[in-house]
Amino acid sequence: MNKENPTSLIVIFGATGDLAQRKLYPSIYRLYKNGSISKNFAVVGVARRPLSNEEFRANVTKSVSSAANGEGNAEEFSSHFYYHPFDVTSSNSYQQLKDLLGSLDHDYETNGNRIFYLAMAPEFFGTIASNLKAEGLTETAGWKRLVIEKPFGHSLPSAKELNEEIREAFHESEIYRIDHYLGKEMVQNIEVIRFANALFEPLWNNRYISNIQITSSEVLGVEDRGRYYENSGALRDMVQNHMLQMVALLAMEPPIKLNPEEIRSEKVKVLRALRTIEQDEIENYFVRGQYGQGVIAEDTVLGYREENSVDPDSNTETFVAGKLVIDNFRWAGVPIYIRTGKRMYSKSTKIVVQFKDIPMNLYYNLGEKVDPNLLVIHIQPEEGITLHLNAKKSGKDITTTPIKLDYSNNCIDGINTPEAYERLIYDAMRGDMTNFTHWDEVALSWSFIDQVSKAWESKKASDFPNYEAGSTGPKKADELLEKDGFHWWPV
C-alpha cells in the first residue's frame, strides 16, 4: 500500500444525506485536487432513494462546486462516483453491492481496499456492519475499514450493544469512530503547544494553573434536527464526545511516543481519573439550559420548544455547563469548566488556561490587582493562541497594563487549513487511527455522562427555558464558577 497516496473504494451509506453532501464529498474532492489520494479510487454512494449514476454524479458535482471554484475538474472527479439504491435489511441489496464492489475493484485497481463509511441513521449501524460480514463484503484481498459517525450509542449499555455488533464484523483496529473535533487543526495543536514548548509543560499542573475553561458556543439552533436532538440534548451531542476529547488532550501526560496506542493510553487515563459525580450532587457540578425566544442579528428567533419536531413541553437541554474534577496528582484541585450551547451569542470554540496569581502583588493596575496570565487556545473560527501577560505601562509611574502575545494561524500567508473531515478521511485511508476514538474512550465517556443524564431525566427542569437565544446561557452557569471564586473569561 502506498501510505501517502492511498488507493481504496469508499462506500458511503447515507449518500444522499446532509453530512455526505456538505462535508464528505467536498473533503474527498479537496484530497483529489491536491493529489493526496491516488486517482485509483471510486466512491459508491448508498442510500434508499432510487437514483441513477448520472443523477448522483450531478449531485456530487453540485456539492463540490464551491470547493472546485470553477476549476473545471469537478465532473472528472464525479465520474469516480457510483450509486447503489439500497435496502438495509435485504440480502439482495448486499449481494448486488458486493458484485459492484468486485467490478470497481478490478476497474480502478484498488487492491481490494475498502472503506465502509456509515453516515446515516444510527439505528442501522449494527445491522449494516453485521450484514456486510454475513454477505461476504468484508472478504477482500486488501484491507477493510469501518468509519462510523456519531452518535455511538445513547448511553453506556446501548454503546456496548452497538460495539458488540460491529465487533463481530470488524476488529477494533479496523473501526474508525469519528469525532470531527479531533480533525480540527487547533485541537490537534493542543498536543504540540503542550509538548513542543519547554515553556508550558513545567507549568501545566496544579501548582501553577488555577482552572481551565472550555467553551464551545453556537449561534444556530436545532434547525431540522429536532427529532434527533430531542433524544440527545447537548450533553450527548457535544459533551460526551467533543468536549471530553478536548479535556483529555489538555490533561493527559506526555505520551512516550506519538503513535495512536500511546496517545490513546494517556487519554484513557485522564478519562479514568474523571471524578464520577453522584446523582444527588449533580446540581453542584452541572447546569442545564434550554433556549427561549430571543434576538439574533436583529431577527427574533424561536425558542427551542417551538422548533419543528420538538415537544412543546420538552425537558431536553440545549446548553450544558459543568465542572469536571480530575483526581490525579497533576490535576488535584484544578477545576476544568466546560460549557456548550446552541443559540448563543457567538459561534466560537476556545480554551482558556488560567494561571495562578503571582505569590505577592507588587504592582497595581489602575488600583486593581494585576490580571492573571491566561493562555487562550482559539479553536474556531479564529485559529491561534494568545498569551495574556502584564507589562509596564509607558510613562513615569510604575503601573502595569495587560498585554497580549498573539499568534494567528489565519494570518500566515497561503495557509489553507484542511477541513476536519478532509484530514479524517485521509487518515482513515492511510490507516492512521490517532484522531479517532477507541472503544475504551467511548465507554469511559459514556459512563461519566450517564450519571448526569440519569439525574436530569429523573427530574424535570422547572426553569426551562432559562436562557434567551443570543445570550451567554443561563445565569446558573455563571454562578457555577462564582462559587469557586472564578468567572468565565469572555469568548
Residue number with CB closer to ligand BG6 (96 or 158): 158
Least distance (Å) between residue 225 CB and ligand BG6? 7
Of 80, 154, 180, 242, which is the active-site residue?
242
205 phi, psi to nearest 5 deg = -165, 180
Residue number with CB closer to ligand BG6 (318 or 471): 318
CA distance 350 to 88: 40
Neighbours of 30 (CB within 10 A): 21
Is residue 242 among the annotated active site residues?
Answer: yes
CA distance 386 to 407: 6
Which residues does residue 340 pair with via DSSP β-bridges, in sequence order?
216, 320
CA distance 429 to 355: 40
Least distance (Å) between residue 76 CB and ligand BG6? 30
Least distance (Å) between residue 471 CB and ligand BG6? 18
Q: Report whether 456 contacts 235 (CB < 8 A).
A: yes
Least distance (Å) between residue 125 CB and ligand BG6? 16
Residue number with CB closer to ligand BG6 (185 or 371): 185
Q: What is the DSSP string of 181-249?
A: GGGSHHHHHHHHHHHS-TTTGGG-STTTEEEEEEEEE-S---TT-HHHHHTTHHIIIIIIIIIHHHHHH
Q: What is the DSSP string of 344-372?
A: BS--EEEEEEEEPPPSS---EETTEEPPP
Least distance (Å) between residue 440 CB and ligand BG6? 21
Residue number with CB closer to ligand BG6 (102 or 151): 151
Neighbours of 269 (CB within 10 A): 16
Q: CA dist 384 to 175, 186, 224, 388, Å?
A: 31, 7, 32, 13
Residue number with CB closer to ligand BG6 (182 or 352): 182
Per DSSP bridges, beta strands 368-369 and 348-355 are unpaired
The grid coordinates listed for 131 are 450484514
154: helix, coil or strand? coil
Q: Which residues contact 354 (CB under 8 A, 6 or more apart)?
A: 209, 210, 211, 212, 213, 372, 373, 374, 486, 489
Least distance (Å) between residue 218 CB and ligand BG6? 5
Least distance (Å) between residue 349 CB and ligand BG6? 6
Residue number with CB closer to ligand BG6 (49 or 347): 347
Q: Which residues contact 313 (CB under 8 A, 6 or more apart)?
A: 305
Residue number with CB closer to ligand BG6 (78 or 318): 318
Binding site for ligand BG6 (CB under 6 A): 218, 237, 349
- Which residues participate in catalysis according to the annotation? 242
